[in-house]
A and B are shown apart, each in its own frame.
Chain A
Amino acid sequence: MLKNIGLIIDKYHLEKKVREFLSYMRKVCELSIYVEENYLVNFNDVNFDEDLFFIKGKGDGIINFAKSLERDTDIPVINSSKGIWLAYNRFLNSTLLKRAGIRVPNFSLNPKEDAPPFKDFIIKNVRDQDNYAFDPKIETNTSTVEVKDNRALEEVYGKNAQYSFFYYQEYIESKFEYKIYGVGEELFYYKQKPILRDPDKMKSREKIKPILELGEIAYKVMELFDLQITSLDFLKSEDDNYYLTDVNSTPNFNYLENGPQTIANYLLAKAKR
């Protein structure tokens, strides 16, 4: 009998990111799809027959649906609500990573009126929960680099301003950005030009040999955040130190060689029966 897998997803990911994955999954399991925008989460009645739920998205409806499954059933949920929540909460995850001894760029939350706490900095959105891409405004001169993500400015100065403070990350100059995908125990290593130098990240992306140090960090982060599928971004400073700059709980697995199949097979192996 085929395994029964539930996919909890938002419209954006359903329409743009999972075509190949769905077509493979339909061949190898019974697939039920729960779309965030169409599904009502009823916390008072949590009964499902699925052998596993796969979460593709990070909206509030999705995360709290996952939470209800974790609290009220014994069905495995990948990724966990905690992992997704930590991954998009930049300040919380930087705090946690630093305390766990993982090198992250210096960071700070400051009132919007304050002078920036670092000479070279990136202002990032406080919570990276929406499906919009990084949209940088770059100002450089001979002595400083200032990068401001328009999404972050919108959160503070926009029509529906939510915050009165900015999340600053110290800017790390790096020739390449290193991207590690983690699917359970399997890690996949790539590098590309940093997005600030070349917005078309796929143009320069190349597969690289495993870097032991980054692999160890990836396993540690996955355990710490309770993430089973992830992608991590690193920068390498001029003094050859790697800095973890982003943790993603909904990586685009289409960029991996046989990505959709790799993910699907992993999920099937983790299913209840």
Chain B
Amino acid sequence: MKIGVLSKRETGLTDKMRSFYKEKGHEVTIYTTKNLAVNSSLFENDFYILKSKQLLFLYAGYFLYKNNISVIPDPIISYTYKHRIESYYSIRKCGLNTPKIYMGTSKSIRKKLRESDYPLLIKPLMGSGSKGIKFIKSSGDLDSEKNKILYCEKLIEGTHYLAYFIDEQICVGEKKPFANEHADIKLIKPEEDIKHALMIWREKYNLLFGHLDMIRESSTNKLIVVDPGTFPEFSNWQNSNSIVPTICNLILKRYYDKREMNE
């Protein structure tokens, strides 16, 4: 099998997957922003793994998908999770709680929100995790950049969780607020609502693996989903090396299932 991997780097989990597939006799090409040209030259591979959600890789995924070449995870779902508004609707569609969200200029935020609506988090519209987040304690912290349209969320105060799932296995830890996936977490035995959220999320979108960032709100004890991801590094999964064969085999199985369905 000829497998293409769309990934911002060649190291980490991408490298481990390449080694695994090569050992099994497959040919693997990794496409980064340095060597990825999105055109018919990509048709030489049997299927693609969409490891990163940068715009170029999402474009490549969409192009391949529209040209009937399998891309795993699904590029439309990957785009949806990367786009904050789409992701908000995806979470809501599962019956899970989301933070309150708004879009507008600094001027309209100042004018329409009350001080009790703060603190806010300003986030890039296309983004995931904690990259590019700005904390706005009160209206005075808003920039005067007049016409820039901002996406913002009501800050949720509470305990932050990073919750991974691979097939039916889960791994959940408490993390520091706004820490990225690679920061240390304290592994916990998850409560039922966390397990339930992961289960319905996985089933609703037919996902092989992924993660949800969640917060247990201190004032209400509600579980709120703030950020989903389709292909984390799983760097905080206990014994992360052991999951590489599982992930690679799940991907292969999904590819074979799709191929069989199309035949």
In the complex, what distance in Å separates the CA atom of A179 from the CA atom of B1? 46
In the complex, what distance in Å separates the CA atom of A164 from the CA atom of B38? 13
Give the residue name and chain of the B residue nearest to A38 (CB): B108
Give the residue name and chain of the B residue nearest to A85 (CB): B83
When each residue 47-83 of chain A gets 1 if its CB lies under 8 Å from chain B and 0 otherwise, what string results? Answer: 0000000000001110011011001000000000000
Is A42 part of the binding interface, using a Cβ–Cβ cutoff of 8 Å?
A: yes
Q: Are A60 and B37 in contact (CB under 8 A)?
A: no
Q: Are B59 and A40 in contact (CB under 8 A)?
A: no
The interface size of chain B toward A, counting residues with CB under 8 Å, comes to: 35
Is A92 part of the binding interface, using a Cβ–Cβ cutoff of 8 Å?
A: yes
A61 — which chain B residues lie within 8 A by C-beta?
103-105, 149
In the complex, what distance in Å separates the CA atom of A177 from the CA atom of B105? 38
In the complex, what distance in Å separates the CA atom of A44 from the CA atom of B39? 40
Is A37 part of the binding interface, using a Cβ–Cβ cutoff of 8 Å?
A: yes
The one of B55, B67, B103, B111 that contacts A41, using a Cβ cutoff of 8 Å: B103
B254 — which chain A residues lie within 8 A by C-beta?
none
Known pairs A40-B109, A96-B66; A164 contacts B56 (CB<8 A): yes
Q: Are A40 and B37 in contact (CB under 8 A)?
A: no
Q: Are A109 and B101 in contact (CB under 8 A)?
A: no
The one of A42, A68, A91 that contacts B59, using a Cβ cutoff of 8 Å: A91
In the complex, what distance in Å separates the CA atom of A163 from the CA atom of B149? 20
When each residue 93-117 of chain B gets 1 if its CB lies under 8 Å from chain A and 0 otherwise, what string results? Answer: 0000000111111011101110000
The one of B35, B62, B66, B102 that contacts A42, using a Cβ cutoff of 8 Å: B102
Known pairs A38-B107, A43-B88; A109 contacts B113 (CB<8 A): no
Q: Are B109 and A108 in contact (CB under 8 A)?
A: no
Known pairs A37-B107, A40-B112, A163-B55; A111 contacts B38 (CB<8 A): no
Is B36 part of the binding interface, using a Cβ–Cβ cutoff of 8 Å?
A: yes
B56 — which chain A residues lie within 8 A by C-beta?
109, 163-165
The one of B33, B66, B113, B151 that contacts A111, using a Cβ cutoff of 8 Å: B33
The one of B62, B103, B108, B147 that contacts A95, using a Cβ cutoff of 8 Å: B62
Q: Are A109 and B37 in contact (CB under 8 A)?
A: yes
Is B89 part of the binding interface, using a Cβ–Cβ cutoff of 8 Å?
A: yes
Is A39 part of the binding interface, using a Cβ–Cβ cutoff of 8 Å?
A: yes
Within 8 A of A (CB), among B12-40: 33-39
Within 8 A of A (CB), among B192-244: none
Q: Are A108 and B37 in contact (CB under 8 A)?
A: yes
Q: Are A36 and B35 in contact (CB under 8 A)?
A: no
Q: Are A40 and B89 in contact (CB under 8 A)?
A: no
In the complex, what distance in Å separates the CA atom of A117 from the CA atom of B100? 46
In the complex, what distance in Å separates the CA atom of A164 from the CA atom of B102? 30
Q: Are A109 and B108 in contact (CB under 8 A)?
A: no
Is A114 part of the binding interface, using a Cβ–Cβ cutoff of 8 Å?
A: yes
Known pairs A71-B89, A108-B39, A109-B37; A43 contacts B101 (CB<8 A): yes
Known pairs A44-B101, A99-B67; A37 contacts B146 (CB<8 A): yes
Minimum distance in angstroms from B108 CB to a CB of chain A: 4
Q: Are A40 and B102 in contact (CB under 8 A)?
A: yes
Minimum distance in angstroms from A58 CB to a CB of chain B: 12
Q: Are B102 and A111 in contact (CB under 8 A)?
A: no
Q: Are A95 and B37 in contact (CB under 8 A)?
A: no
Minimum distance in angstroms from A129 CB to a CB of chain B: 11
A39 — which chain B residues lie within 8 A by C-beta?
104, 108
Give the residue name and chain of the B residue nearest to A60 (CB): B149
Give the residue name and chain of the A residue nearest to B111 (CB): A40
In the complex, what distance in Å separates the CA atom of A108 from the CA atom of B38? 6
Is B136 part of the binding interface, using a Cβ–Cβ cutoff of 8 Å?
A: no
Within 8 A of B (CB), among A108-124: 108-111, 113-114, 117
Q: Are B63 and A95 in contact (CB under 8 A)?
A: yes
Is B248 part of the binding interface, using a Cβ–Cβ cutoff of 8 Å?
A: no
Which residues from chain B sit less than 8 Å from chain A, CB to CB? 33-39, 55-56, 59-60, 62-63, 66-67, 85, 88-89, 100-105, 107-109, 111-113, 125, 146-147, 149, 151
| 20 A-B pairs with C-beta separation under 8 A | A40-B111, A40-B113, A43-B85, A43-B103, A44-B100, A59-B149, A60-B125, A60-B149, A64-B103, A65-B103, A67-B85, A91-B63, A95-B63, A108-B39, A109-B60, A111-B34, A111-B37, A164-B33, A165-B36, A165-B56
Q: What 14 additional pairs, Cβ within 8 angstroms, besides A37-B146, A40-B111?
A: A36-B149, A41-B102, A41-B103, A41-B104, A43-B101, A91-B63, A92-B59, A95-B63, A96-B66, A99-B67, A109-B59, A117-B39, A163-B56, A164-B33
